[in-house]
Structure 1
Amino acid sequence: MKNRRRIYEGKAKILYEGPEPGTLIQFFKDDATAFNKKKHEIVDGKGVLNNRISEHIFNHLNRMGIPTHFIRRLNMREQLIKEVEIIPLEVVVRNVAAGSLAKRLGIEEGTVLPRSIIEFYYKADALDDPMVSEEHITAFGWASPQEIDDVMALAIRVNDFLSGLFMGVGIQLVDFKIECGRLFEGDMMRIVVA
């Protein structure tokens, strides 16, 4: 890793320049954070486990025709991924009232929602990732209306897959978060799960 050019470091991953143009190497760290890094611990082996889980999920999504940035796992801690332009949003899909949703709206924890809810949060640690509306997203140029539609369609498809995956082992999927990006291929651009 010493000879690689670091592109980005987040709470759980480091991105390095990839071996070919348009690729990156994603390294999974052992850092465990909560509340935007207000709580921080090192958990030995977390990065290895996250890499394997990520590989498993992305392989399934790719096989189902859901576009992602994932190419392949390289080793215990690294993946080869396609370079994308990240849309600065966290996309949260909620199936059951829990955590901040239950607290914010006064809904009893564990209440199954009548339908899945998709929420958007602006990726800005300094602002504690505030919730934003589609109006904010388009007004500030973070994504176009068509891109929002594409992101929502991907989020619903991922939710359908993950709900079934977890149900198969007796776990109810409460909520999850994804990020999406723009993948440029020649003159074409498409939204992918990143």
Structure 2
Amino acid sequence: TNAPAEDPDIPASGYYGAASRTNGNQVSSNRPTHFSSWARRSIIPDRLATAILNAAGRTSAFISGKAPEIKPSPGGNTPSGPSADTSVRTISLLPAAGEAAAQGWSIKDGGIQLSDGVFKITKQSNKTWSLTHPVDDAITLLTQGGRLTCKFRLSGALTNNQFGLGIYLYTDAPVPDGVAMTGTGNPFLMSY
């Protein structure tokens, strides 16, 4: 409530509570149930924000809303990033790490070639190519969250109603209890 005994002034922080207010500067005539005056509208979000920052450790990355950059190790499944948690994985395909096959990737209905520091993917006529990398813990992305990133450049003319890229994360592992997949067909954890 905003009874004066429960809402004291805090002059050091510039906050003046119920003891300093009168019925003339409130928006409700029922003082004990009054939520706030116009001057105090942000006190609850401010207090909540302070509690969140204290719990999160007030790191600059948290305050700025930026996730720490994860530097992938070339090829394969390798724990990486700022966390020592083994559930953090980076699966990468980097030109600097060499050929795709050596990094654990395989291509179907197409070809992948490393040339001048970039990968070039070509597809077979009238086929849809796929580039795959096996993982043994894909369900972790569903239960703990994660981030998928792909940087690419299309070559040739753009064509209306034609896909440039599709990303699908499929698992044949059982979906955890309490998780219901929507739609029908295969349980893709993510598709774009």
- Taking structure 1 as the reference length, the TM-score comes to 0.23
Higher CA-based Rg: 2
Which gives a bigger RCO, structure 1 or 2 (Cα 8 Å, sep 6+)? 1
TM-score (norm 2): 0.23
